[in-house]
Structure 1
Amino acid sequence: MTIPTEKEVGAIAIAAGVLVDREVAARIANSIRPALDAFAPIAGTLPFDLEPSAFVLVQISKVSR
């Protein structure tokens, strides 16, 4: 698992339509690090069927039947 840098956080924020300066992006990157560190031991071990965006696809296919 990669820990996002302030540059990556800034790019994600811009993509979401939110402008943040470098200091705010650095604080965001530092504040989410503990949560990402907590999930690091199981990163990459969850099966792909638990991936959230697949849920919508499954629900759509059930409704359209």
Structure 2
Amino acid sequence: MLNVVWFGDLLKVLWWSGDGMCLLMKRLEKGRFAWPRADSGVVALTTAQLALLLEGFDWREPVDAARPRSAL
């Protein structure tokens, strides 16, 4: 089980590891966490979306990286 609490630039994650509760807290130095809308009160994230959220990326609006012009 995983519970996430979000406060703009602060994210707290509680999860049951099987033998006790674990707490992860992360605060971004710059920017805010991109949190999806919770129309039904619950948000379901994939593992990849959660990883991007924890890294501070806005996974809802990905930005194309610059592509190299030449391999030489």
TM range (shorter): under 0.3
Normalised by the length of structure 1, the TM-score is: 0.22
Task: Please state which structure has a larger fraction of its residues in strand.
Answer: 2
Task: Please state which structure has a larger fraction of its residues in helix.
Answer: 1
Normalised by the length of structure 2, the TM-score is: 0.21
Q: Which has the higher contact order (CA 8 A, sep 6+)?
A: 1
